[in-house]
Structure 1
Amino acid sequence: MKAFSILLAILLIPVSIYSQGLLQEKNTFTHQDTLRGSITPEREWWDLTYYHLDISVDPDTKSISGKNTIKYTVLKPYATMQIDLQEPLYITKVTQNGKELKAMRDGNAYFIGLIDHQVLETNNSIEVFYEGNPKEAKNAPWDGGFSWKKDENGNDFVATSCQGLGASVWWPCKDHMYDEVDSMDISVTVPKGLMNVSNGRLKSTVENKKTTTYNWTVKNPINNYGVNANIGDYVHFSEVYAGENGPLDMDYYVLRDNLEKAKTHFKDAPRMMEAFEHWFGPYPFYEDGFKLVEVPYLGMEHQSSVTYGNQYKMGYLGNDVSGSGWGMKFDFIIIHESGHEWFANNITHIDMADMWIHESFTSYSENLFVDYFYGKEASADYVVGVRKRIQNDAPIIGTYNVNKEGSADMYYKGANILHTLRQLIEDDEKWRQILRGLNETFYHQTVTTKQIEDYISEKSGIDLKPFFNQYLRTANVPVLEYTLKKGTLRYRWNNVVDGFKTPVKVTFEGKEQWIYPTTEWNWKMVDVKVRELKLNRNFYVNISKL
């Protein structure tokens, strides 16, 4: 989906936006990084439309086997198709129209030689058969793959996670974010006594002699890392939420022993939905419903199948990431990972370098959840509180075309960047409409950073290009320098990019007021009794008296 319209977008991003450090780092990337992270000729000629992933999972041998049916539209004639599958998994056979095709492996990419002529605008399909022992997650979800665990009763408790690493760590696919599949079916066969929960809605269950097959269907476009399989001794409960677009099914799958605990603790889920539909607009996947699924790791934002492992504690594993106290008012994983349904699953970055679009807005959603239920000052306490986690070690934007995200500051520095933008716009309702407008304008789309920047600049009526260049493309925090001498206040920006002239609110002479610094010294007359400026805490800048 969307492959044709954005085909060249990521390739046209100028090298000049990179810091020197990232340019040096780029030299360390490998051929495999390029195959994984770029829109290769073997990818760009076909537009992905449908997957049917049909696999069997054997927890005893930690193995999987099966096939993926891939349907696509021909954008231009070509004879070779790139399908990604990471070692140690391997493709056993590829067929099209009953003919077996040659598949040549280059590391984690297979190049499939097509026999039939690929006619422009026709719809075709291939079947990819594969098997093996997939990479085992060492520290899911950060180091992903398959998590092969046991619950407290000795039952198998298995889950997938693959953000960054890529969906091809466990199933063959077109493993690049630019082209989302339009719809998908997921069939997972597991040993009897276990259940598989995947994305979308459960269509049917088939009882076999020693196994059970669970057939799930996804009607909305879905990004590849958002696809998941979760296997365990699950029990189910549900509720219907009265949402902006009508009744919304909210389903919960938890380990049997945790059912009563979950029925109480998961009350944060409808609260989340209420807050985020207010700020971001209608939940983007009404057709597929919303699920929380318990897993043996912390959690992830799998589309319509959000995974949960926060041990039924408030905060982040019982801790307040902000230190403000407000972080203990909600379950961090329910709020944060569900926020990704809007920013990551509805609006999806084209290239991993723009991962801030997912993480900055979603980290900011924690703050907005606090705002909705506890007020604006509480939300400011929260977002200012997370600043202690910011490193300013590298730019938030990463390196393009090699599957490389930027600094982890995309989380809480990103949240503070957006919080600062809210101050610049001043009108809270206008800011809310911008957030909702992003989700409406880019509904079910993959996007570039430039599209997000341009939209916010246009709707705010502010030229934000220097602002975004400063905060996304450098690791420098703006410094407001000032002097006070004989009733004269002099002030300017330092440590900033050319053209940076963001106004800020400061307090002096007993009142708060805007000032408009540039990189040149500005001055104004003030009361001779003024000894210092107090910076409004909602702006993510530093202040220095010279």
Structure 2
Amino acid sequence: MSCLIFSTFDFIFLQMTKNLLLLLSLYTCVLFSQETPSELAELAQAEMKSASSTMNFVANVNTQNYDMVYQRLELTVDPAVYFVSGNVTSHFVAKQAMSTITLDLAHQLTVGSVMKGNTSLAFTQANNELVVTLAQPIVAGTLDSIAVSYAGVPPSGQQAFATGTHSGTPVLWTLSEPYGARDWWPCKQDLNDKIEAIDVYLTTPSQYVAVSNGVEQSQVVNGLTKTTHFEHNYPIPAYLVAIAVTNYQIFTQTAGTAPNQFPVVNYIYPESYNSAVTSLAQTLPIMDLFETLFETYPFSDEKYGHAQFGWGGGMEHTTVSFMGNFSRGLIAHELAHQWFGNKITCGTWKDIWLNEGFATYLSGLVIENLDGAPNFVSWKNSLINNITSQLGGYVYLQDSDLTNVNRIFSSRLSYNKGAMVLHMLRWKLGDTAFFQALRNYLADPNLAFDYAVTTDLQYHLETVSGQNLTEFFSDWLYNQGYPTYTVTAQNMGNLEMQVQLFQTQSHPSVSFFEMPVPIRFIGVNAEQFDVVLQHTENGQLFTVAVPFGVADIQFDPQRHLISKNNTATLGLPFEAIDALIELYPNPTKDLLSIDLPASISFEKMEIYSTLGQQVGVSTSPSFSIAALSEGIYQVRITTSAGVFHKKVIKK
């Protein structure tokens, strides 16, 4: 689920209460934000989804004994009236012996009857459940069906079913993520089972246009009402089933490459039509990019599309994203979900980053590919600033997080950090392995049009790259925080630089972030030379050959790493350091000491005769040479800035 107030990012308010008015007043400053990366930091606080913190985000254990294979929704709605009535037929396969079946349904919706063919079935309603006694007990593997007739005023707490107006015209829409589907139709809402196919029949006043998932099959006018039939033949979780109704004006585009061309059907408010048509031209190059990077649009034999609705952001309903505006960032984010979130859906809410991190990162790939590398760097920098605005926080959720919708849909963690974790995986593995692994992930027959968890993604990344990513996933997903890097570089002469890397961690859950660290050397004539240092331990020393004299260094100029408050210091040139190192007293009869610049640390000194024989060694900067014969000796001094050679006279 995604939301954006005229910007690249997304938040969906699931509860329109007094809190909504407060939030809107807080976010007035971003109402006219564009998709430029510089505004992502301002938008980060506005991405949170808002809903009751007391909601229970745990799947109903009483619905786990069957697989839902097909549902037919026959609904009657009027966008001018907050009410729904309908008949929903469910076909299911028993996973074990069953004498009753439980569906999720809000108790505010009153069931009039439950039928099996012409047979009326007994049922009870309580605790947002509909429990139906089957006509006869069934055994595992049995295909059965029931039809539920119901009506009522849907509960408004989650705003899963909503009405409003635009330019004075009524509009109705649904938005069920994460667990709001039960508020308007009897279903099974979890992240374990997808409905294999659905038919949706929407009966509305005849002046309106109806929208749902899949392909419109027919419109039948019957006096003052019209019934529109949509058919969707792909597995779909309950939260992605959606309807919308108002006086839409339709604009159709053609996307894809033959033989996989398909319509993009856009349902637009008439007053927004001209501007929307201009903005929606952006859909086609974004679709082309995603198909080039990954695979053909997953629902290409049906449709893609957009339907305007009453929120400021968007929601990625399968084959038709509901849109509060048509900014490029929002178009990209919701379209990205058709692969990451709809074709493959996160298997638990702990894994929500597999939906939202991917959709956020793909909106960044649009910037990279259509706007160029500098804009992509700015976009990443904005994400990093938001991620590091707090010291901790998991990407992969904890059990205690699952009752808090604000935490599940945290913009900082599930969206932004999830996106940057993907970028760091790309940086670590390289483009070829990274994108091939994602294509394999999408094509995996055990995951495609089904559910995935984080370890499924890890498996494909490891299989293609040959790398063990256990530590990476532990550091960046299952634990918390980020590193701060301290980089010091010294010129060792002969066009060699010695670089030392230290890091500190923002949170104690990670003792060390093992990452490839990018460093850029800048020459006296503005030359650039980039290296990648495999940082595996603190204080690690690297010797780097640079093809020019170095005037400056930069840490991670392309912003590949989540980090903060990094420093990169270039020490004095080797010759200047050499001039500052002194042996004293010189000549000396006994004690010999070394004076070093404050930025240089002493390691050891070795004393050699004129014949090259080592006659003394010390790990202390002061050393007695009283036992040596008079004469001239060579002193080899090893420091953090390199090795230096001096002469000393023993008298």
Q: TM-score range by the shorter chain?
A: 0.7 to 0.9
Are 2:296 and 1:333 aligned? Answer: no
Match of 1:379 among 376, 379, 388: 376
Q: Report the counterpart of residue 319 of structure 1 in structure 2.
A: none
Counterpart CA distance in 2 for 1:381 and 1:545 is 19
Q: TM-score, normalised by structure 2?
A: 0.70
Given the alignment of the two structures, is residue 505 of structure 1 paired with residue 518 of structure 2, yes or no?
yes
Task: Specify which of 107, 122, 139 is matched with residue 119 of structure 1.
Answer: 139
Q: Report the equivalent of 1:308.
A: 323
SS in 2 for 1:37: coil
1:480 is matched with which residue: 453, 470, 485?
Answer: 485
Question: Residue 278 of structure 1: CA displacement?
Answer: 1.2
Which among 278, 285, 289 is matched to residue 299 of structure 2? Answer: 285
- Which of the pair is proportionally richer in strand? 2
Structure 1 residue aligned with 2:394: 395
In terms of Rg, which structure is larger? 2
* Aligned equivalents of 2:69, 2:192: Cα separation in 1: 13
Q: Is residue 2:363 matched to residue 1:366?
A: yes
Question: Separation in 1 of the partners of 2:217 and 2:491?
Answer: 77
Is the contact made by 2:436 and 2:464 (CA closer than 8 Å) also made in structure 1? Answer: no
CA distance in 2, matches of 1:197, 1:271: 24
Tell me how far apart the structure 1 counterparts of residues 266 and 210 of structure 2 sit (CA, whole Å): 13
Cα distance, 1:181 vs. partner? 0.6
Give SS of 1:79's match.
Answer: strand
Equivalent position of 2:228 in the other structure: 214
Q: 2:417 aligns with which of 402, 413, 418?
A: 413
| Cα distance change on mapping 1:237 and 1:483 into 2, 3 Å | closer
Give me the whole-angstrom Cα distance separating, in 1, the residues matched to 2:360 and 2:187. 29
Instruction: Map residues 514-529 of structure 1 onto 2, 5 A cutoff.
Output: 514-524=532-542
Please list the CA deviations of residues 155-202 of structure 1 after superposition, one character each: whole Å capped at 9, or x if unmatched.
Answer: 211111121243112211001021111110011111121121111111
1:403 Cα deviation from its structure 2 partner: 6.2
Instruction: Give 2:449's match in structure 1, choosing from 424, 437, 444.
Output: 444
TM superposition shift of 1:531: 8.3
Q: How far does residue 376 in structure 1 lie from its aligned partner after superposition?
A: 3.5
SS in 2 for 1:76: coil
SS in 2 for 1:463: coil
Give the Å deviation of 1:285. 0.4
| Distance (Å, rounded) in 2 between the aligned partners of 1:529 and 1:374 | 31
The answer to whether residue 59 in structure 2 is matched with residue 38 in structure 1 is yes
In the aligned structure 2, how far is the partner of 1:440 from the partner of 1:515? 34
Q: Output the CA distance in 1 between the equivalents of 2:111 and 2:485.
A: 58
Check the 8 A contact 2:305/2:319 in 1, yes or no: yes
**Are 1:99 and 2:113 an aligned pair?**
no
- Name the stretch that deviates more: 448-457 or 377-386: 377-386
Q: Distance in 2 between matches of 1:29 and 1:419?
A: 31
Determine whether 1:145 maps to 2:148: no
Distance in 2 separating the partners of 1:396 and 1:87: 34
Residue 234 of structure 1, CA deviation:
1.3
Distance in 2 (alpha carbons) for counterparts of 1:93 and 1:213: 22
1:256 aligns with 2:270: yes
Counterparts of 2:513 and 2:555 in 1: how far apart (Å)?
21
* Alpha-carbon distance in 2 for matches of 1:204, 1:526: 69
Q: Could you tell me how far apart the structure 1 residues matched to 2:343 and 2:377 are?
A: 26
The residue identity in structure 1 corresponding to 2:418 is G
Distance in 2 (CA, whole Å) between partners of 1:422 and 1:526 is 24
Q: Secondary structure at the match of 2:265?
A: strand
Contact kept, 8 Å, 2:107 with 2:129, in 1: the verdict is: no
Measure the CA separation in 2 of the matches of 1:196 and 1:375: 39
- Asked if residue 197 in structure 1 is aligned to residue 211 in structure 2, the reply is yes
CA distance in 2, matches of 1:61, 1:372: 45
Pairwise CA distance, 1:529: 8.5
Deviates more, 1:431-440 or 1:393-402: 393-402
- Aligned equivalents of 1:369, 1:115: Cα separation in 2: 54
**Contact 2:105/2:185, CA 8 A, preserved across alignment:** yes
1:207-240 alpha-carbon deviations (Å, 9 max, x no partner): 1222111111101111211111111101223132
- Which amino acid in the other structure matches residue 520 of structure 2? T
Matched, 1:64 2:69: no
1:199 and 1:476 map into 2 onto residues whose CA distance is: 40
Q: Deviations over 1:252-297 (max 9, x none)?
A: 1112333333332210111221111112211000122111112122
- Residue 501 of structure 2 aligns with which residue? 491
Change (3 A) 1:417 1:301: same
2:73 and 2:201 in contact (8 A); partners too: yes
Q: Distance in 2 between matches of 1:484 and 1:240?
A: 55
User: Normalization by structure 1: what TM-score?
Assistant: 0.82
Task: Give the match for residue 318 of structure 1.
Answer: none
Residue type at the aligned position of 1:542: K
SS at match of 1:260: helix
Q: Does 1:422 align with 2:426?
A: yes
Look up the match of 1:186: 200
What number of residue pairs does the alignment pair up? 490
Structure 1 runs not aligned, ≥5 long: 1-27, 138-142, 315-330
Give the letter aligned to residue 173 of structure 1. Answer: C
Closer/same/farther in 2, CA of residues 255 and 340 from structure 1, 3 Å limit: same
- Distance (whole Å) between structure 2 residues aligned to residue 82 and residue 234 of structure 1: 37
Helix, strand or coil at the partner of 2:191: coil
1:131 aligns with 2:151: yes
Distance of aligned partners of 1:43 and 1:534 in 2 relative to their CA distance in 1, 3 Å threshold = same
Deviations 1:322-366, CA, capped at 9 Å, x for gaps = xxxxxxxxx222111111111110110111121110000000011
Distance 1:300 1:509 in 2: 45
Equivalent position of 1:267 in the other structure: 281
Please say which of residues 469-478 and 99-108 is displaced more in the overlay. Answer: 99-108
Among candidates 154, 158, 168, match of residue 172 of structure 2: 158
Q: Deviations over 1:396-451 (max 9, x none)?
A: 2224595662633211122111112211122x233322222222223212111111
Per the TM alignment, residue 101 of structure 1 is displaced from its structure 2 partner at its CA by: 3.2
The residue aligned with 2:252 is 238
With 73-82 and 180-189 compared, the bigger mean Cα shift is at 73-82
The AA in structure 2 aligned to 1:208 is N
Asked if the contact 2:53/2:403 (under 8 Å) is kept, the reply is no
Moved more, 402-411 or 466-475: 402-411
Counterpart CA distance in 1 for 2:225 and 2:409 is 43
CA spacing shift, 1:373–1:59, aligned 2, 3 Å: closer
| Counterpart Cα distance in 2 of 1:526 and 1:301 | 48
Confirm or deny: 8 A CA contact 2:78 2:205 kept in the other structure: yes
Kept after mapping to 2: 8 A contact 1:197/1:231: yes
Residue 303 of structure 1: CA displacement? 0.6
* Structure 1 segments (4+ residues) deviating >4 Å: 400-404, 481-489, 525-533, 543-546
Matches of 1:543 and 1:227 in 2, distance apart? 45
- CA shift in 2, pair 1:332/1:29, >3 Å: closer
Alpha-carbon distance in structure 1 between the residues aligned to 2:555 and 2:180: 46
Report the CA distance between 1:79 and its aligned residue: 2.5
Q: 548, 562, 568: which is aligned to 1:540?
A: 562
Does the C-alpha gap of structure 1 residues 84 and 533 become closer, same or farther in structure 2, counting only changes over 3 Å? same
